[in-house]
C-alpha cells in the first residue's frame, strides 16, 4: 500500500487483514467499520501551480508609501537582500498576511504571545496611507493572474477584509483560487519568528501538522469516537452502584424475611442478580392479580432518551451521507460496469473493433477501449461508495429499530393512552424511510417516556398504599436489576470498544511510521547538506503519543552519542533543523503552491552552513519559485561561489519609510559604469579627476579580480567559501588581488600572465596603484583610462591566455 492510497480504503484493507489474521474480533471490526471516514472525491478545477508575480505593501510595518516587489514567476531562486530595517520582513509578512490573514509574529502560533509593541506597531509610523498588503498570483500556466488584497478598515490588526480581483477587474471568492486547508497543510511560508520556535517545547503543534501532512489527520477523529463509546459504556456500568445504594436504603429497617434475603443478595463484593430476580419473581407469584399488575406498571420504563438521541444522531448522519446515493445506483453502476467489461472481453477475443450491437465498423477502437476502462473504474468506485453509504445507513437504521420494544403483554389488550402510545412506538419498527423513522421516533419517544414515568409513579404510589413497607423496596430492587442487566451488556460493548481502540492505536502507529519514512529521508537529506561539517547528526523523526495528542521525537547524536536535541544544538543548527522540517512539507508533490517564501534563514548560521543552505535552495529552485529574504551578504557570496543562478533584488529604505527595490546588476559592470559616468563630467575639477577616477578604476579592477579569485580557488583548489574568504580578507594592494585571481596565490608574481592577457596591463596596474594620476588633462584621457582598465578586467575575468593589445583584442 502506498502513500497515495486513500485513507478510508487503507483502513478498510487493514481491518480485513486484521480479521483474517485473528488480530481483531468480528464485533470490534464491525464497530471500527462504522467509524471509518467516508471517501472524499478528489478536488477538481483547482488552479495550480501557484506562483508569486509580486508583493505589494502600503502603510504596513516598515513600508510607508505603496511599494511593489516584482518577482520572476516560475521555478527559480530569488534573493531579496538589504540591511536590517529596510523592510524585507515587511514584504515577507505581507505575502503571508494577504493569503492567510494570519502571521506567526502576532497570532501566537509560534508559541509566543503578541507583545504590546506589535499590537500597536503593525501600522507604518510615517505614512497615513490606509494599510494594504497584496500579492499578485499566477494560478497556472495559462490563466491570467489574480490579485489577493487585504485592506484594513479599523485600528486593530484583525479589522481587515480580503478581496480577490481577476485581471479583467471582476472579483471572486478567495476559496475559488486558494484552498485554505491545503494552504495550511503545505504552508509555503517560513518567517524568521518560526525558525527558532518550530522545534521548541513539546512540538505538539508540529506533531498535529505532520500527522495531517502524511494523511493521517482523520485518525484522531476515529480515536475520539472510540473513546466516547468507551466512556458511554462506563457510565452505564456505573449506574447500578447508585441504584444499589437506594435499594439498600429502602430495605434498611424492614421487618420482613424478603428484605433480609434481598439485603443478603445485594451484599458482598459481587451482588447476586439471579437471587434478586428469583425473589422478585417469587414475590410476583404470591401477589394478587392487582398487585402483579401494579408491580409490572411500577417497573415500566420507556425508551432511554440518551440512547434514542445518540441513535437518531447516527441515523441522521448516515442518512445525510447517503442522501444522494441509492442502492439502485450501486446496482446500476455494477451492471453498467459489467456490460462494459463484457464488451471489452468481446473485443479482445474477437480481435474485432466492430460493435456487436449496432454493427458500426471500428466503433470499439482503442480510444473507445481506453474510455471504457476509465468508465469501469469510475462506476466501480461509485458502486463501492454507494454500498458503503447504504451499509452505514442500514446499520444506523437497525440500531434505531432495536431500541423500539414491542408492546408489553400487560398493555396489549388495553385501550389506555399508554397502550396507544406504545403501539405507535412499536410501529416504528416497520418504518423504512430514514427521515420518517427519525421524525416518528423523535416525536413518540419522549411522549412515551413521560407517560411511562407517570404510570410507573402512579403504580408505585398505589403499591405503597397497599404495602408501604415492602413495595417501595421492590421498586428499587427492580430498578437496580434492570440497570445491572444493561450494565452487563455495556461491559461487553466496552470490552469490544477497548479491543478495537487498542488495535486501532497500534495500527495508527504503524501507518504513522510507514508514511513518515519518506518525510524523514527528505529531512535528513536537507540536514546533511546544511550541516555537512557539523558533529551533530539527525537520525529518525518520530511522531509520539496519540493521533490527537502527541509530540515529535528527534533522534539527535553528537559524534555517534545520543543527546537531547536542544541542549547540544547551536542556534544555527536549530534553524537548520527547522528548515529540514519545513522544506519537505512545503515542496511535497501534492502541494499546489509552486513557491516558497523564507525570511532570514542565514542568521546564526556559520559560513559552511550558508553554503549548504545555498545548495538546498538551489535544488528546491529547480521545481519551485524560492524567494529568500536576507540581510546577510554571505548568502549572495555562497550563491556566487557555487555558480548558482539567482535573481538578486536589493531593498533600501529612506526617510519617511520610502522603500525602493532594485535588481542587482553585474558588480564589475556597475563599478566601471560609475567610473565612466564620472569621466564624462566636463566640470569635474582636474585635482579631483586625477585622484578619484584612478581610485574608482582600481576598485572596479579589484572587484573583477575577486570574482575570478573565488572561481579559481573553488574550481582549481577545491576550497570552501570560508577558506576563500580567509584568503581574500587580508588583501590590500591591487597587485595582490591580481595575483590571487590569476595564480591562486596573492604572494605570486603575475606580470607575465597579465601581459599575456592584456599587453601593457602590468604597467596600467602600476599606474593605478600610484593613487594619483596627473596625466588626465582632457576628457578623452579620462575615458581612455576607464576603457583600458575595463578591458584588463574583462581579460582577467575570462582568465584565458589570449593576448589583448591596448587598442583591442587580437
More confident residue, 234 or 221: 234
- The pLDDT of residue 106 is above 60: no
Instruction: Give pLDDT, residue 26.
Output: 87
Q: Which domain holds residue 279?
A: 224-302+467-499
The answer on 292 and 329 residing in a single domain is: no
Note whether residue 115 is domain-resident.
no
Instruction: Give pLDDT, residue 787.
Output: 93
Summarize pLDDT for 427-474 with one digit per residue, the tens: 888 888 888 888 988 898 898 888 888 888 888 877 666 566 777 888
Instruction: Give pLDDT, residue 661.
Output: 85
Instruction: Give pLDDT, residue 809.
Output: 36
- The pLDDT of residue 721 is above 60: yes
Label the pairing between strands 808-809 and 160-166.
unpaired
HEC readout, 741-765: HHHCCCCCCCHHHHHHHCCCHHHHH
The answer on 726 and 796 residing in a single domain is: yes
The domain boundary, picked from 402, 426, 446, lies at: 402
The answer on 477 and 362 residing in a single domain is: no
The answer on 801 and 714 residing in a single domain is: yes
Note whether residue 350 is domain-resident.
yes
Q: What is the mean pLDDT of residues 189-193?
A: 83
Lowest mean pLDDT of 290-304, 569-583, 796-810, name the range: 796-810
> With the C-alpha atoms ordered 458, 264, 244, 404, is the resulting torsion angle positive or negative?
negative
Instruction: Give pLDDT, residue 577.
Output: 82
Instruction: Give pLDDT, residue 52.
Output: 92
Sequence-distant (6+) residues with CB within 8 A of 69 are 54, 55, 56, 80, 91, 649, 651, 661
- The pLDDT of residue 108 is above 70: no
Instruction: Give pLDDT, residue 408.
Output: 85
The answer on 298 and 349 residing in a single domain is: no
- The pLDDT of residue 500 is above 60: yes
- The pLDDT of residue 592 is above 80: yes
Q: 581 near 202, Cβ under 8 Å?
A: no
Q: What is the mean pLDDT of residues 58-68?
A: 88
Instruction: Give pLDDT, residue 234.
Output: 92
Instruction: Give pLDDT, residue 380.
Output: 67
The answer on 799 and 672 residing in a single domain is: yes
Q: Is the pTM of this model over 0.75?
A: no
Closest CA to 133 of 73, 83, 93: 93
Instruction: Give pLDDT, residue 251.
Output: 86
Ramachandran sector of residue 545 (left: φ over 0; alpha: ψ -120 to 50; beta: rest): left
Instruction: Output the nine-digit C-alpha cell for 741.
Output: 585571481
The answer on 775 and 691 residing in a single domain is: yes
The answer on 366 and 330 residing in a single domain is: yes
Q: How far apart are the C-alpha atoms of 188 and 595, rounded to whole Å? A: 7
Note whether residue 775 is domain-resident.
yes
Task: Tell me what the pLDDT averaged over the chain comes to.
Answer: 80
Instruction: Give pLDDT, residue 771.
Output: 60
- pLDDT over 90, % of the chain: 11
The answer on 788 and 672 residing in a single domain is: yes
Q: How far apart are the C-alpha atoms of 386 and 391, rounded to whole Å? A: 9
The answer on 395 and 476 residing in a single domain is: no
Note whether residue 711 is domain-resident.
yes
Q: How far apart are the C-alpha atoms of 137 and 457, rounded to whole Å? A: 71
> With the C-alpha atoms ordered 746, 789, 706, 676, is the resulting torsion angle positive or negative?
positive
Specify burial of residue 134 (Cβ count, 10 A radius: 0-12, 13-18, 19+).
Answer: buried
Q: How far apart are the C-alpha atoms of 359 and 632, rounded to whole Å? A: 75
Model confidence at 48, pLDDT cuts 50, 70, 90, reads low
Q: What is the mean pLDDT of residues 232-247?
A: 90
Beta bridge partners of 51: 138
Model confidence at 328, pLDDT cuts 50, 70, 90, reads low
Q: What is the mean pLDDT of residues 305-313?
A: 86
DSSP code of residue 463? H
More confident residue, 553 or 633: 633
Q: What angle do CA 292, 293, 299 make, to 5 degrees?
A: 90
Summarize pLDDT for 113-160 with one digit per residue, the tens: 445 555 566 777 777 778 999 999 988 755 678 999 999 888 887 788
Q: What is the mean pLDDT of residues 18-40?
A: 80
Q: What share of the chain is helix, strand, coil (3-state, %, to 5)?
A: 60, 10, 30
The answer on 748 and 675 residing in a single domain is: yes
Q: What is the CA radius of gyration of the chain?
A: 40
Instruction: Give pLDDT, residue 793.
Output: 92
The answer on 756 and 721 residing in a single domain is: yes
Instruction: Output the nine-digit C-alpha cell for 555.
Output: 533522534
DSSP code of residue 407? P
- The pLDDT of residue 810 is above 50: no
Model confidence at 332, pLDDT cuts 50, 70, 90, reads confident
Instruction: Give pLDDT, residue 805.
Output: 40
Instruction: Give pLDDT, residue 289.
Output: 57
The domain boundary, picked from 354, 385, 402, lies at: 402
Specify burial of residue 480 (Cβ count, 10 A radius: 0-12, 13-18, 19+).
Answer: buried
Q: What is the mean pLDDT of residues 745-774?
A: 84
Crossing angle of helices 633-641 and 686-715, rounded to 10°:
60
- The pLDDT of residue 182 is above 60: yes
- The pLDDT of residue 807 is above 50: no
- The beta strand positions in 18-126, using DSSP E, are 51-58, 67-70, 76-81
Lowest mean pLDDT of 108-112, 254-258, 318-322, 588-592, name the range: 108-112
Instruction: Give pLDDT, residue 54.
Output: 92
Q: What is the mean pLDDT of residues 521-534?
A: 81
Lowest mean pLDDT of 377-386, 405-414, 785-794, name the range: 377-386
Instruction: Give pLDDT, residue 56.
Output: 92
Q: What angle do CA 711, 717, 718 make, to 5 degrees?
A: 80
Q: What is the mean pLDDT of residues 675-695?
A: 86
Buried b or exposed e, range 775-804, using 16+ CB within 10 angstroms: ebeeeeebbebbbbbbbbbbbbbeeeeeeb
- pLDDT over 70, % of the chain: 85
Instruction: Give pLDDT, residue 803.
Output: 38
Q: 731 near 758, Cβ under 8 Å?
A: no
Q: How far apart are the C-alpha atoms of 743 and 749, rounded to whole Å? A: 8
Instruction: Output the nine-digit C-alpha cell for 587.
Output: 515542496
HEC readout, 234-283: HHHHHHHHHHHHHHHHHHCCCCCHHHHHHHHHHCCCCCCHHHHHHHHHHH
Summarize pLDDT for 656-670 with one digit per residue, the tens: 778 888 887 778 888
Q: How far apart are the C-alpha atoms of 327 and 581, rounded to whole Å? A: 46
Note whether residue 749 is domain-resident.
yes
Domains contained in the chain, number: 3
Note whether residue 250 is domain-resident.
yes
Instruction: Output the nine-digit C-alpha cell for 691.
Output: 585622484
3-state secondary structure of 599: strand
Instruction: Give pLDDT, residue 324.
Output: 64
Instruction: Output the nine-digit C-alpha cell for 536.
Output: 551533530
Instruction: Give pLDDT, residue 562.
Output: 65
Q: 609 near 536, Cβ under 8 Å?
A: no
Note whether residue 785 is domain-resident.
yes
- The pLDDT of residue 2 is above 50: no
- The pLDDT of residue 338 is above 50: yes
Instruction: Give pLDDT, residue 284.
Output: 61
Note whether residue 795 is domain-resident.
yes
Instruction: Give pLDDT, residue 197.
Output: 63
Lowest mean pLDDT of 114-118, 430-434, 744-748, 790-794, name the range: 114-118
- Longest C-alpha distance within the chain, in Å? 139
More confident residue, 108 or 281: 281
Closest CA to 440 of 400, 474, 405, 410: 400
Instruction: Output the nine-digit C-alpha cell for 476.
Output: 428499587
The domain boundary, picked from 346, 375, 402, lies at: 402
More confident residue, 771 or 527: 527
Amino acid at each position: 500500500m502506498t502513500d497515495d492510497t486513500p485513507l478510508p480504503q487503507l483502513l478498510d484493507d487493514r481491518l480485513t487483514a486484521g480479521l483474517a489474521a485473528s488480530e481483531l474480533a468480528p464485533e470490534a471490526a464491525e464497530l471500527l467499520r462504522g467509524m471509518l471516514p467516508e471517501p472524499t472525491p478528489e478536488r477538481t478545477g483547482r488552479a495550480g501551480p501557484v506562483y508569486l508575480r509580486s508583493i505589494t505593501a502600503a502603510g504596513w510595518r516598515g513600508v510607508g508609501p505603496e511599494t511593489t516587489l516584482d518577482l520572476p514567476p516560475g521555478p527559480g531562486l530569488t534573493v531579496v537582500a538589504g540591511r536590517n530595517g529596510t523592510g524585507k520582513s515587511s514584504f515577507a509578512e505581507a505575502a503571508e498576511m494577504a493569503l492567510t490573514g494570519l502571521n506567526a509574529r502576532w497570532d501566537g502560533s509560534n508559541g509566543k504571545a503578541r507583545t504590546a509593541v506589535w499590537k500597536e506597531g503593525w501600522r507604518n509610523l510615517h505614512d497615513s496611507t490606509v494599510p494594504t498588503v497584496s500579492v499578485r498570483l499566477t494560478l497556472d500556466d495559462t490563466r491570467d493572474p489574480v490579485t489577493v488584497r487585504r485592506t484594513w478598515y479599523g485600528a486593530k490588526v484583525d479589522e481587515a477584509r480580503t478581496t480577490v480581483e481577476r485581471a479583467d477587474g471582476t472579483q471572486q471568492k478567495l476559496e475559488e483560487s486558494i484552498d485554505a486547508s491545503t494552504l495550511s497543510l503545505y504552508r509555503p511560508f517560513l518567517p524568521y519568528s518560526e525558525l527558532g520556535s518550530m522545534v521548541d517545547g513539546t512540538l505538539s503543534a508540529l506533531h498535529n501538522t505532520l500527522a495531517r501532512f502524511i494523511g493521517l489527520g482523520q485518525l484522531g477523529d476515529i480515536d475520539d469516537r472510540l473513546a466516547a463509546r468507551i466512556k458511554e459504556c462506563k457510565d452505564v456500568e456505573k449506574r447500578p452502584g447508585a441504584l444499589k445504594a437506594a435499594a439498600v436504603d429502602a430495605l434498611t429497617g424492614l421487618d420482613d424475611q424478603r428484605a433480609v434475603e434481598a439485603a443478603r443478595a445485594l451484599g458482598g463484593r459481587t451482588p447476586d442478580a439471579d437471587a434478586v430476580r428469583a425473589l422478585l419473581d417469587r414475590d410476583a407469584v404470591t401477589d394478587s392479580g392487582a398487585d402483579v399488575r401494579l408491580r409490572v406498571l411500577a417497573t415500566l420504563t420507556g425508551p432511554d432518551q440518551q440512547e434514542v438521541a445518540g441513535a437518531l444522531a447516527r441515523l441522521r448522519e448516515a442518512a445525510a451521507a447517503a442522501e444522494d446515493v441509492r442502492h439502485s445506483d450501486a446496482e446500476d453502476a455494477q451492471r453498467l460496469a459489467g456490460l462494459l467489461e463484457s464488451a471489452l472481453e468481446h473485443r479482445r477475443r474477437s480481435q474485432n473493433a466492430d460493435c456487436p450491437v449496432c454493427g458500426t465498423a471500428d466503433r470499439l477502437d482503442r480510444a473507445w477501449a481506453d474510455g471504457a476502462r476509465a468508465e469501469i473504474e469510475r462506476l466501480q468506485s461509485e458502486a463501492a461508495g454507494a454500498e458503503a453509504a447504504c451499509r452505514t445507513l442500514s446499520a444506523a437504521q437497525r440500531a434505531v429499530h432495536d431500541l423500539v420494544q414491542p408492546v408489553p403483554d400487560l398493555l396489549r389488550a388495553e385501550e389506555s393512552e399508554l397502550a396507544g402510545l406504545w403501539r405507535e412506538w412499536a410501529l416504528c419498527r416497520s418504518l423504512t424511510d430514514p427521515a420518517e423513522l427519525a421524525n416518528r421516533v423523535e416525536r413518540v419517544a419522549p411522549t412515551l417516556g413521560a407517560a411511562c414515568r407517570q404510570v410507573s409513579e402512579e403504580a408505585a404510589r398505589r403499591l405503597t398504599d397497599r404495602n408501604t413497607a415492602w413495595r417501595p423496596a421492590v421498586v428499587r430492587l427492580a430498578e437496580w436489576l434492570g440497570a445491572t442487566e444493561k450494565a452487563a451488556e455495556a461491559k461487553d460493548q466496552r470490552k469490544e470498544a477497548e479491543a478495537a481502540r487498542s488495535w486501532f492505536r497500534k495500527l495508527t502507529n504503524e501507518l504513522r511510521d510507514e508514511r513518515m519514512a519518506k518525510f524523514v529521508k527528505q529531512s535528513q537529506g536537507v540536514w546533511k547538506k546544511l550541516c555537512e561539517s557539523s558533529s551533530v547528526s539527525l537520525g529518525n523523526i518520530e511522531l509520539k503519543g496519540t493521533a490527537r495528542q502527541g509530540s515529535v521525537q528527534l533522534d539527535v547524536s553528537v559524534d555517534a552519542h545520543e543527546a537531547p536535541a536542544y541542549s547540544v544544538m547551536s542556534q544555527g543548527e536549530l534553524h537548520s533543523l527547522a528548515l529540514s522540517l519545513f522544506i519537505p512539507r512545503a515542496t511535497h508533490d501534492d502541494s499546489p503552491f509552486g513557491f516558497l517564501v523564507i525570511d532570514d534563514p542565514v542568521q546564526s548560521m556559520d559560513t559552511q552552513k550558508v553554503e549548504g543552505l545555498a545548495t538546498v535552495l538551489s535544488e528546491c529552485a529547480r521545481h519551485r519559485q524560492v524567494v529568500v529574504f536576507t540581510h546577510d551578504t554571505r548568502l549572495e557570496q555562497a550563491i556566487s561561489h557555487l555558480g548558482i543562478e539567482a535573481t538578486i533584488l536589493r531593498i533600501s529604505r529612506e526617510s519617511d519609510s520610502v522603500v525602493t527595490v532594485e535588481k542587482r546588476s553585474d558588480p564589475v559592470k556597475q563599478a566601471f559604469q560609475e567610473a565612466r559616468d564620472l569621466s564624462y563630467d566636463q566640470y569635474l575639477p582636474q585635482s579631483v579627476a586625477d585622484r578619484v577616477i584612478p581610485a574608482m578604476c582600481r576598485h572596479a579592477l579589484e572587484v573583477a579580480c575577486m570574482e575570478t579569485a573565488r572561481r579559481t580557488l573553488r574550481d582549481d583548489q577545491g576550497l570552501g567559501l570560508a577558506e576563500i574568504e580567509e584568503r581574500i580578507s587580508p588583501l590590500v594592494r591591487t597587485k595582490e588581488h591580481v595575483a590571487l585571481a590569476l595564480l591562486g596565490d596573492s604572494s605570486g608574481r603575475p606580470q607575465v600572465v597579465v601581459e599575456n592577457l592584456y599587453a601593457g596591463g602590468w604597467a596600467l596596474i602600476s599606474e593605478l596603484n600610484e593613487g594619483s594620476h596627473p596625466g588626465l588633462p582632457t576628457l578623452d584621457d579620462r575615458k581612455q583610462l576607464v576603457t583600458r582598465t575595463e578591458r584588463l578586467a574583462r581579460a582577467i575575468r575570462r582568465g584565458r591566455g589570449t593576448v589583448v593589445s591596448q587598442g583591442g583584442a587580437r
